[in-house]
Amino acid sequence: GAVVSQHPSRVICKSGTSVKIECRSLDFQATTMFWYRQFPKQSLMLMATSNEGSKATYEQGVEKDKFLINHASLTLSTLTVTSAHPEDSSFYICSAREPGQRRGYNEQFFGPGTRLTVL
């Protein structure tokens, strides 16, 4: 299957700093990527849909000024957590779907995740 990478895999930062997380599709181009958040022992919650060349679409309750998303190319989307606070500590996961797939096939592939700890 397709491969999605994330960097960094783990980051620890001080409260008030900004952290950037990269999501890359390694062997395919992705016009759409997705960002999820997962708290310990919980399921994945969709935060936003990242669209190449246009603004991201945020889910209800997600602060767009806190979580900046940039999808600058067909292989890279970035999530920047601005002015991070301890409550932003979480596991962030991205996913991507190959474009051009026929509507009858829509498998998504997930990155390995980034564990963010804000002190």
DSSP 25-73: ESSS--SEEEEEEE-TTS-EEEEEEEETTS--EEPTT--TTTEEEEEEE
The dihedral sign for the CA sequence 69, 58, 65, 116: negative
In the numeric block, the tokens 């002015």 are attached to: 83
Q: Is 93 in the site for other proteins (CB under 8 A)?
A: yes
Smallest gap, in angstroms, from Cβ of residue 37 to other proteins? 11
The two beta strands, 114-118 and 10-13, are parallel
Shortest gap between Cβ of 79 and other proteins (angstroms)? 16
Binding to other proteins by residue 109, rule CB under 8 A?
Answer: yes
Outline where 36-114 has alpha helix (H). none
Sketch the per residue contact string, 30 through 69, with other proteins: x for CB under 8 A, - otherwise: --x-x---x---xxxxx--x-------x------------
Helices (H), the chain: none
Binding residue (CB under 8 A) for other proteins from 1, 61, 86, 100: 1
Q: Indicate whether 103 belongs to the interface with other proteins (CB under 8 A).
A: yes
- Applying CB under 8 A, the residues found at the interface with other proteins are 1, 32, 34, 38, 42-46, 49, 57, 91, 93, 95, 97, 103, 105-110, 112-113, 115
